[in-house]
Amino acid sequence: MASSGFVLLDKIAGETSFKALFPLKRVFCTKRVGHAGTLDLRASGLIIAATGRATRLLPYIEAKDKCYTFRLHLGYETDTLEWDGEVVCQDDKCVGRESQPCLHGYDRAQHLGLEQSESPKTRDESGEIRHCERSEAISNGNINRADLEAVLPQFIGDIDQVPPSYSAVKINGHRASDLMNRGREIELKPRRIHIESLKVIGEGLVTEGCTGKCFATFDLECNCSKGTYIRSLGRDLARALGTCGCVSMIRRHRIGNVTVDRAVRGEALTPEHLLPVDQVLDFPVVRMNDDQVKAIRLGNWVPWHTPVENLSTTPGTEKFVFVADKNGNVVGLGTYDPGRICPKFFLGDD
Instruction: Return the SS3 of 175.
Output: strand
* Rounded-to-5 percentages of helix, strand, coil across the chain: 20, 35, 45
pLDDT given for residue 189 in this prediction:
83
Other CB atoms within 10 A of residue 20 CB: 20
Cβ atoms of 207 and 177 within 8 Å: the answer is no
Q: What are phi and psi of 194, to 5 degrees?
A: -130, 125
236 among known catalytic residues: no
Q: How far apart are CA 131 and CA 265, in angstroms?
A: 44
Q: How far apart are CA 286 and CA 309, in angstroms?
A: 10
Q: How far apart are CA 60 and CA 37, in angstroms?
A: 11
Cβ atoms of 50 and 6 within 8 Å: the answer is yes
* Complete DSSP assignment for 77-97: EETTSBTTS-EEEE-GGGTTP
Residue from 245, 249, 219, 218 nearest 232 by CA? 245
Cβ atoms of 7 and 24 within 8 Å: the answer is yes
pLDDT given for residue 205 in this prediction:
94
Cβ atoms of 286 and 322 within 8 Å: the answer is yes
Which residue stretches of the chain are H helix? 22-28, 58-62, 108-111, 145-151, 176-181, 230-240, 290-297
Beta bridge partners of 50: 6, 34
Give residue-wise pLDDT tens across range 124-158: 444 444 344 443 333 345 799 999 999 999 999 99
Instruction: Return the SS3 of 200.
Output: strand
Indicate if the pLDDT at residue 314 is higher than 80.
no
Give residue-wise pLDDT tens across range 27-77: 999 889 999 988 999 999 999 999 999 999 999 999 999 999 999 999 999
Cβ atoms of 164 and 77 within 8 Å: the answer is no
Q: How far apart are CA 168 and CA 231, in angstroms?
A: 13
Q: How far apart are CA 347 and CA 271, in angstroms?
A: 19
Give residue-wise pLDDT tens across range 162-211: 988 765 665 666 666 566 666 667 667 889 999 999 999 999 999 999 99
Which residue stretches of 3-76 are H helix? 22-28, 58-62
DSSP class of 262: G
Order of strands across the sheet that contains 121-123? 76-78, 87-90, 121-123, 129-131
Q: Look over the chain and give the mean of its residue pLDDT values, rounded to a whole number.
A: 84
Indicate if the pLDDT at residue 332 is higher than 60.
yes
Q: Can you list the domains of the chain with their CATH numbers?
A: 5-64+257-279 (3.30.2350.10), 66-255 (3.30.2350.10), 285-346 (2.30.130.10)
Q: How far apart are CA 12 and CA 185, in angstroms?
A: 31
Residue of 40, 91, 92, 236 marked catalytic: 40
Positive/negative CA dihedral, 308, 311, 317, 321 = negative
**At a CB cut-off of 8 Å and minimum separation 6, what does 220 contact?**
69, 70, 71, 72, 198, 199, 200, 201
Q: How far apart are CA 233 and CA 91, in angstroms?
A: 18
Structure-model confidence comparison of residues 302 and 167, the more confident one: 302
Give residue-wise pLDDT tens across range 77-119: 999 999 999 999 999 877 554 433 333 333 322 322 223 334 4
Mean pLDDT over residues 305-325, rounded? 88
